[in-house]
Amino acid sequence: MIRKNTTILSIAVLLSIIFLLSGCSEAEPGINTANVTEIDILILESFPVQVHVVAKGYLPNPCTQINQIIENREGNSFTVTITTKTSPGPCIQVIKPFEETIPLDVYGLSAGTYNVNVNGIEGSFTLDVDNIPQMI
């Protein structure tokens, strides 16, 4: 009777391990966009003015890292794309928070309001004066 219970217990433990490992299946390698949940726009007290965007979000697992940050400006709109890269192999499925500070290229911009979009999360900032140093 004890041997039978031990065998059943061993099988139950083995099935539990297989079930848990199925959640840790191999992550698909590839490039994706990062899941950004919020952005903060910081205007630094300097002249010419510097503007940084702080993007916060999470990665799906510890095997996924920030791969590339691409900034584009068209008119008064900045678009920032944060991509991720996942390493191949088994990985636990635990979200990993991230925070990236991204300097925007605002040198030479005219006074005005500018929109910022980071992976779908939007914000804006205003330059009160032209961001061009005056030569005396």
What confidence tens digit (pLDDT) does each residue in 27-56 have? 446 889 999 999 999 999 998 999 999 999
Contact between residue 93 and residue 24 where contact means Cβ atoms under 8 Å apart: yes
- Per-residue confidence (pLDDT) for residue 3, from 0 to 100: 57
CA distance 108 to 105: 9
CA distance 32 to 41: 24
Q: Is residue 5 part of a domain?
A: no
Q: Is residue 12 part of a domain?
A: no
- Per-residue confidence (pLDDT) for residue 12, from 0 to 100: 53
Contact between residue 105 and residue 122 where contact means Cβ atoms under 8 Å apart: no
- Per-residue confidence (pLDDT) for residue 7, from 0 to 100: 58
Task: Tell me the residue range of the domain where 73 lies.
Answer: 25-127
Instruction: Count the domains in the chain.
Output: 1
Q: Is residue 103 part of a domain?
A: yes
Query: H-type helices in the chain, by residue range?
Result: 2-22
Residues of the chain with pLDDT under 50: 14-28
- Per-residue confidence (pLDDT) for residue 10, from 0 to 100: 58
Q: Is residue 17 part of a domain?
A: no
Q: Is residue 11 part of a domain?
A: no
Q: Is residue 3 part of a domain?
A: no
Amino acid type, 84: T
Q: Is residue 6 part of a domain?
A: no
- Per-residue confidence (pLDDT) for residue 19, from 0 to 100: 41
Q: Is residue 97 part of a domain?
A: yes
- Per-residue confidence (pLDDT) for residue 133, from 0 to 100: 80
